[in-house]
Amino acid sequence: MTEKRFLAALNGETVDRPPFWFMRQAGRYLPEYRATRAEAGDFLDLCYRPDLAEEVTLQPIRRFGMDAAILFADILLLPQALGQHLEFRVGEGPVLDPIRRTEDIPALDMDRLHEGLGPVYETVSRLSRSLPAETALIGFAGAPWTVATYMVEGSGSRDHPTIKQWAFSDPEGFGKLMDLLVQGTAAYLKAQIAAGAEAVQLFDTWAGALPHAWLEPLVFGPLQQIAALIHAEYPDIPVIGFPRGIGTSLAHAARIPGITGLSIDWSMDPQWVAANVQPHRVVQGNLDPRLVVVGGEPMRQATRHILDCFGHRNFVFNLGHGFVPETPPEHVAELSEMLKAV
Ligand code: CP3
């Protein structure tokens, strides 16, 4: 077996037990995160302080012993490094100066990009030295469509009216923003890999906002291009996609060339995923994070069902979206012990 269980699973090997990690495993549900966050001050200061970002990445590993750690950063650091103004306002989330016209799309300045993101690469390289030998290190970025929703709407948004207006009415102009993000994201992920990331995940949180016909140009195509750019330099690095909320279009996602694994959101029936996705790609998922807030038998029963459906090959256990701040750490401890005992 490949030495690290998480990488073995992504390599298609049958493993002794399914590896596990959790989206947003570092975060506000942990008191030690809240303490480090208070020391940093602003959320962005935490992201750009390699010593503190390393510390919060390690915190859940120390407590629960997941098979993989995910770099602590945020998907919106990339637009910031491309020159867009970004702040996180307390109680409001991210706020950016919106880009709404082709003329306002910045040119890709690689020196500026890597200079802005230098502290993130430093965090990765520290982690590759400090993580336990059995724990894999995951790098990540936002997928172009999801990052673009924040860049164009200027904040989080439920219906994404402005970006859909632009993308559907002016595919060519909007395509320039997507091209910038494909190139920038690939460069960002390659630098994370050079610094020590052993796999990468692309978060497409708002993929489900698109009609089926637009998934190919705005979600699947960009993912395929980024994977190809990464694999041209690093052919063996697994690339995991997380096109959240696309339902049965996951059967199409399972055929994107170059994508090793797909993270599956909690709305999906594990049996459908086992039949339609798992034969083609490694699946990762898909416990509803609310069931970890509830804990007890509902959490255990849903976990057993997921484990029964997916077995010991082509499967990584995870949530179907990130932990919420009100998650009791004791429930995460119980879930982790259950997963280590499989
Ligand atoms: O442990 C991990 O999963 C790694 C770190 C990580 C964070 N954000 C830290 C974070 C990762 C992988 C992300 C990805 C991310 N960021 C996504 C995609 C995944 C998803 O959750 O859908 C998105 C859409 C963002 C953008 C973002 N970051 C928003 C909208 C917010 C505000 C909402 C919120 O939850 O507060 C953030 C802030 C953020 N990113 C926090 C954390 C731990 C909370 C910040 C805090 O400490 O107050």
- Sorted by where each begins, the domain ranges of the chain are 5-340
Structure tokens, 303: 């976990």
- Residue 203's Cα: distance from chain center in Å? 4
Average pLDDT score, the chain: 97
Considering the four listed CATH numbers 3.40.50.2300, 3.20.20.210, 3.20.20.70, 3.40.640.10, the one that applies to the domain covering 5-340 is 3.20.20.210
CA distance 309 to 307: 6
Angle at 215 between CA 210 and CA 220, to 5 degrees: 140
Instruction: Identify the active-site residue in 48, 121, 150, 188.
Output: 150
Structure tokens, 187: 């460069």
Q: Is the CB of 318 under 6 A from ligand 1?
A: no
Centre of ligand 1 to C-alpha 194, Å, is 24
CA distance 192 to 138: 9
DSSP character at residue 16: S
pLDDT band at 91 (very low <50, low <70, confident <90, very high): confident
- The rounded percent of the chain whose pLDDT value lies above 70 is 100
Structure tokens, 5: 């269980």
**164-203 pLDDT, tens digit each:** 999 999 999 999 999 999 999 999 999 999 999 999 999 9
Parallel, antiparallel, or unpaired: how do β-strands 282-287 and 315-319 relate? parallel
What pLDDT is stored for residue 90 in this prediction? Answer: 87
With a cut of 80, say whether residue 310 has pLDDT above it. Answer: yes
Mutate to test the pocket of ligand 1, among 22, 24, 36, 188 (most ligand atoms within 8 A of CB): 24
Residues in the chain: 342
Which residue's CA lies nearest to atom 33 of ligand 1?
93
The SS3 assignment for 53 reads helix
With a cut of 80, say whether residue 2 has pLDDT above it. Answer: no
With a cut of 70, say whether residue 1 has pLDDT above it. Answer: no
Centre of ligand 1 to C-alpha 16, Å, is 32
- C-alpha distances in Å from residue 288, one per residue of 29, 122, 322, 339: 16, 33, 9, 16
DSSP character at residue 155: B
